[in-house]
Amino acid sequence: MIFGSRREKEVIKLIKEHLNTVLQACEKFKTGIERDDEKALKDVCELEKIGDTIRRDIALKLYEGAFIPAVRANLYRFSEVVDEVLDTLEDCAIEYLNLPEKLDEDVKAYCVTIAEINLKMSRDLVLAFESLEKKADLKDVTLKIRTREEMIDKITHDLYRHLMQKDVDSFWKGKAISDFIVSLVNVSDLIEDAGDIIQILNVSMR
């Protein structure tokens, strides 16, 4: 363990809860779109509210004096980015529920694949933070995060190319689908950003 004081341990415990909330939200979201499970998608929104509370608690503990200033700033930024992941997952869930009609099965298959990789990235992020806590090597797990994000970029490119071949009978229907996909892809970008901050923390805590 590299965190010794009571306040520091409390912050680390809260960050782990925050990351676990992201993991649960990714699991619920994947289930929601895979099975068209409205309850699972609404659970994502509830998890986002839980995440907001955890983020506020982290901020309060940090402002009370946990960690040296440089580390404190990076941990605060980390909690903000993790919370942005939850915010974006909530956007995804709401946008999916508000689609004017169900996605075509071929388009849905692409989206489920992206959601599944997002879920794997959230697990990687948990492992990355645990590695930071234990002073273990971060190289492999952070490489996995970057590699998975690149996979999503490629899938997204293929998906948009596929969508361009489809006829859309209204502008707003097309926009709703596009907004949903943009939010879905942004989840991976934010998880990658959080992984980058873990690497910065790893350097600043040496």
Domain boundary assignment for the chain: 6-204
| 158-184 per-position pLDDT tens digit | 999 999 999 888 999 999 999 999 999
102 DSSP 8-state letter: P
Amino acid in position 111:
C
Task: Give 190's contacts (C-beta < 8 A, 6+ positions apart).
Answer: 81, 84, 85, 88
Distance, C-alpha 139 to centroid of its chain:
20
pTM beyond 0.85, yes or no:
yes
Asked if residue 153 has pLDDT above 80, the reply is yes
| 70-119 per-position pLDDT tens digit | 899 999 999 999 999 999 999 999 999 999 999 999 999 999 999 999 99
Do 2 and 205 contact (CB within 8 A), yes or no? Answer: yes
Do 134 and 183 contact (CB within 8 A), yes or no? Answer: no
Do 38 and 45 contact (CB within 8 A), yes or no? Answer: no
CATH of domain 6-204: 1.20.58.220
